[in-house]
Chains A and B, each alone.
Chain A
Amino acid sequence: MGRIVLEKVTKRFGEVEVIPPLDLTIEDGEFAVFVGPSGCGKSTLLRLIAGLEDVSSGNIAIDGQDATSTPPAKRGLAMVFQSYALYPHMSVRKNIAFPLKMAKLDQAEIDKRVNGAASVLNLSDYLDRRPGQLSGGQRQRVAIGRAIVREPAAFLFDEPLSNLDAALRVGMRLEISELHKRLETTMIYVTHDQVEAMTMADKIVVLRAGNIEQVGSPLELYHSPRNIFVAGFIGSPRMNFIEGDVAAKYGAHTIGIRPEHIAVSESEGTWSGTVGVAEHLGSDTFFHVHQTGLAETMTIRADGEVGFRHGDRIHLTPREDVIHKFDAKGLRIA
């Protein structure tokens, strides 16, 4: 069980208010991702839930119990840190067993749980090694192992994959998602990478300057972003924004069109422009188009087969049904 409720939580460091009053509920078994640019307060929010930082005001409840001033050790949460934070002087076995030893479990139970976690995470062959003798991915697995043996109410992940190389990151992302499906335990995951957020989350919480900009499922955020910030942050490549007369025609201050919602053609279209850079990914091609008279650069995502080159004059046609409209304050117009 792990339902976490934040009520009017604030955090101040001296005079600086990092988290203005904030309400948030994370349901039991949910995979919630806090995402936002660096310095948006997502890690601070996670540390408040963990108890590693004290809230300045407001309440935190875990499973209906007020945990606002409960020390981290007593909250029943497990955390995986960005730097792994393994104990360098202990073997992998002792690292994983540490929380159980602190909980004063008997040795037989500790062994059982450690071996169980090790086999789930493919660490059985490494139990007697020190963290220093492991690769980045293995260290991350040990950190996860140390978290799962406790059978916590919820897992907290603080950018756990940002120290891994790209290929490993995709693999670990999948492993964590599978772990969540199997354990069905609440997970809160902090990242600045919107791809991680989109692929893993049941619920995404987009943060900016300590404020929650929007909460919703990945597709809700993709299809109906509440404001320009969320629209620009979710989705890759980034949404194109057009202001001025073109936007006014749609009755908006700004309109947003995702790169995948613009069709390209050699001969005809609503707008035209010149290809600046064409990025061929094989499956897709990203065109960065200039001189459209709309915005400085328009990004278009086309099929991998489309073969325009630098300097080609091309025509663009947006899909009218998925154009996002925003008012002067940047808020979505329904």
Chain B
Amino acid sequence: MARAVTSRRKTINTALAWGVGLIIFFPILWTILTSFKTEGDAIAYPPKFLFFDWTLENYSVVQERSDYMRYLWNSVIIAGGSTLLGIIIAVPAAWSMAFVPSKRTKDILMWMLSTKMLPAVGVLYPIYLMFIKLGLLDTRIGLVIVLMLINLPIIVWMLYTYFKEIPGEILEAARMDGATLKEEILHVLTPMAVPGIASTILLNVILAWNEAFWTLNLTAAKAGPLTAFIASYSSPEGLFYAKLSAASTMAIAPILILGWFSQKQLVRGLTFGAVK
């Protein structure tokens, strides 16, 4: 009997999980469906779910009106560049915090994280002025720097957690074996931390890809990534839901595909250390 109860409970749990999953996914699904509708079908009431005239017109219009590839390329550079730069800075920082901690290491980690609690808009004005002075406004390098800085606390925190799991004796063994600090980090620490570094990279690429506040405020025409691409369809032409949906679908597709293929890695990364 116990077995029957368990299997029934399993069925219910599975159904619940699918239900919640679908509810969460529904807005994205609706956006994708809407992108294949005509503008008329998009605002039709009652809403049409699957039975409408499927069309690719929105996509061609969007591509014609704005150069998708340019925005995509900007997104790739900004997300990839800021993550790479962040990792290069964060690996030594996390190494020192994990393996040669000082009395204040915990405080520094908390302080770094606390910067994430500051409302971004609070520093928009000074950063905007600095960007004007430095000529970084509407440049990709400017965004790479800003996004790297705002995500750095998370990168350091994640790497710190992974590095903490690596036994210090192995690094000491490398030191005894004649490895310099650089060789120790390069040949021993980094290969052992590859899964952790990979999830950190992945999560930060996604965070940087989706970042909208800074990308919208610090770019105009040249350096705008896909967030700017979507935004350009929202305010002035807000009524064209189908085209807005097509633009959104094109913007989220790359990251959605990346996330789909790396979900295992990502989940492992996010729960690392939390579950033994």
Contacts and interface: CB of A to CB of B under 8 A. Distances in A.
B175 A85 contact: no
Contacts, number: 59
Contacts of A52: 172, 175-176
A86 B172 CA distance: 11
A85 B178 contact: no
Nearest to B179: A102
Contacts of B178: 73-74, 99, 102-103, 150
A82 B187 CA distance: 22
Contacts of B174: 87, 98
Most buried by B among A52, A79, A85: A85
Contact of B169 (A85, A99, A102, A150): A85
A104 B167 CA distance: 26
Main secondary structure of the interface of B (DSSP, over half): helix
Contacts of A103: 178
A102 B177 contact: yes
Interface in A236-251: none
B192 A89 contact: yes
Contacts of B170: 85-88
A81 B172 contact: yes
Interface string B9-30: 0000000000000000000000
B172 A85 contact: yes
Interface residues of B, number: 18
A89 B178 CA distance: 18
B212 to A, nearest CB: 39
Interface residues of A, number: 23
B179 A79 contact: no
Interface string A154-173: 00000000000000000000
Given A83-B167, A85-B167, A88-B192, A98 B177 contact: yes
24 contacts: A71-B175, A72-B175, A73-B177, A73-B179, A73-B180, A78-B177, A79-B172, A79-B173, A79-B176, A81-B172, A85-B167, A85-B169, A85-B172, A87-B170, A87-B174, A87-B188, A89-B192, A98-B177, A98-B179, A98-B187, A99-B177, A102-B179, A102-B183, A150-B177
Interface of A: 50, 52, 71-74, 77-79, 81-83, 85-89, 98-99, 102-103, 146, 150
